[in-house]
């Protein structure tokens, strides 16, 4: 009951937030909420492989940042009117959301297929290190990418065009992202309950057993990795629209760590955990960083407490408490 109450209450709050913000003259809150939703989406994508597949990726920012770059680069070419490349066929840039966002997802899916195909040959600690290594390689790739700003990053002329919406309008952008997050959460829920989801959870529980039962576990893990990469790419496309600026720091290992923290704080392997984690993490950042720039000093111990005393994270603990009743 508690769980349901919080879900319904949260949804109502999320739906009415821009109106409330306007009523209280706190319009900047909409921007913060938008950022929270985008990080929640990134967390949801990581949670699929981390929480349900048992794959601890420490390089998820690679997909997040690449997704952001795809939108920025396509928009850059569209603004300049220069084709992206002319061989073997001419491809122009685009500042339309309907083209750029799926393109970001597609590029990240292909990237995840390549990175995953290699990383998933290992497991455990090695998997953590090799995903980190790939993310760092991509980080330095974008640092070296001088035509697109290199180290300095790349500014967007404006957010993507998404007729009939105007994404420069904070409220419309917020509602679009809220709908996208809800839609992805719905898809995740279906996925986790499906045959594929059951196999994925089985692999997390005992991979050797699953192989003995006849599952080619590598293929299922790789498929989950690709889906996860694509969704992280979508989150990246959204953050590029939100900040209207991208830089290699989007792919930094600290960003990967942040996404991990969002998932762990919220609850690994719970559907709504990453959303709860994103809210908690970014609110803490918002409040504490006003108080001191060394806000990590407070976050660190808090994270330790959560890991020690509420292993299932905020949402996981809540779910556990409500099932006990």
Partner 1 sequence: MSAPLLRITGLRKAFGAVVACDGIDLDVAEGEVHALIGPNDAGKTTLIGQLAGEIRPDSGRIVFRGRDVTPLPAHTRAARGLARSFQITSVLPGMSALDNVALAVQAHAGHSFRFWRPAGDETAVREPAHAALDRVGLALRATVPAAMLAHGEQRQLEIAMALASQPRLVLLDEPTAGIGAEESARMVTLLESLRGDVTMLLVEHDMDAVFALAERITVLVSGRVIASDTPEAIRGDTEVRCAYLGEEDA
CB of 30 or CB of 199, closer to partner 1? 199
Nearest to 169 by CA among 241, 275, 260, 271: 241
Q: By CB under 8 A, which span of 6-14, 155-163, 213-221, 296-304 interacts with partner 1?
A: 213-221
In angstroms, the CA 244 to CA 55 distance is 32
CB of 10 or CB of 202, closer to partner 1? 202
Which residues lie closer than 8 Å to 149 by C-beta, 6 or more apart?
155, 247
Which residues inside 161-190 make contact with partner 1, applying CB under 8 A?
190
Tokens at residue 175, please?
């509602």
Smallest distance, partner 1 to C-beta of residue 219, A: 8
Among positions 16, 86, 179, 206, the unique one binding partner 1 when judged by CB under 8 A: 206
The binding track of 214-253 with respect to partner 1, each residue x by CB under 8 A or -, is xxxx--x--x------------------------------
Kind and range of the H or E run holding 155: strand 154-155
Among positions 197, 273, 274, 277, the unique one binding partner 1 when judged by CB under 8 A: 197
Total binding residues for partner 1 by CB under 8 A?
A: 26
Determine the 3-state secondary structure of 245 from DSSP.
Answer: strand
Among positions 4, 208, 290, 324, the unique one binding partner 1 when judged by CB under 8 A: 208
CB of 169 or CB of 205, closer to partner 1? 205
How many of the other CB atoms lie within 10 Å of CB of 143? 17
In angstroms, the CA 193 to CA 201 distance is 10
CB of 114 or CB of 216, closer to partner 1? 216
CB of 189 or CB of 294, closer to partner 1? 189
Tokens at residue 9, please?
């209450």
Which residues lie closer than 8 Å to 252 by C-beta, 6 or more apart?
61, 65, 139
Asked if 202 interacts with partner 1 (CB under 8 A), we say: yes
> Phi/psi at 293 (nearest 5 deg)?
-70, -20
* Site residues for partner 1 per CB under 8 A: 190-191, 193-199, 201-202, 204-206, 208-217, 220, 223
């Amino acid at each position: 009951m508690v769980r349901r109450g919080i879900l319904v209450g949260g949804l109502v709050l999320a739906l009415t937030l821009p109106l409330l913000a306007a009523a209280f003259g706190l319009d900047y809150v909409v921007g913060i909420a938008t950022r929270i939703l985008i990080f929640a989406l990134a967390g949801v994508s990581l949670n699929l492989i981390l929480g349900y597949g048992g794959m601890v990726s420490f390089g998820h920012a690679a997909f997040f940042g690449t997704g952001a770059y795809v939108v920025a680069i396509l928009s850059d070419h569209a603004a300049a009117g220069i084709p992206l490349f002319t061989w073997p066929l001419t491809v122009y840039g685009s500042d339309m959301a309907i083209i750029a966002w799926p393109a970001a997802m597609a590029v990240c899916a292909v990237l995840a297929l390549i990175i995953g195909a290699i990383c998933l040959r290992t497991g455990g600690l090695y998997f953590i290190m090799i995903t980190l290594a790939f993310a760092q390689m991509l980080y330095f790739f974008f640092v070296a990418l001088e035509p697109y700003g290199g180290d300095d990053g790349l500014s967007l002329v404006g957010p993507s065009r998404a007729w009939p919406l105007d994404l420069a309008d904070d409220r419309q952008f917020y509602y679009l992202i809220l709908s996208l997050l809800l839609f992805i959460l719905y898809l995740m829920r279906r996925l986790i309950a499906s045959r594929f989801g059951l196999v994925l959870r089985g692999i997390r529980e005992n991979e050797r057993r699953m192989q003995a039962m006849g599952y080619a576990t590598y293929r299922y893990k790789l498929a989950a990795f690709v889906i996860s990469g694509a969704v992280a790419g979508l989150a990246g496309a959204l953050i590029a629209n939100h900040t209207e600026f991208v830089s290699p720091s989007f792919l930094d290992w600290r960003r990967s760590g942040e996404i991990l923290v969002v998932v762990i704080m919220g609850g690994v392997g719970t559907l709504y955990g990453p959303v709860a984690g994103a809210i908690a993490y970014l609110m803490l950042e918002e409040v504490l960083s006003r108080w001191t720039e060394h806000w990590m000093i407070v976050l660190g111990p808090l994270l330790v407490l959560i890991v020690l005393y509420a292993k299932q994270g905020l949402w996981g603990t809540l779910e556990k408490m409500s099932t006990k009743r």
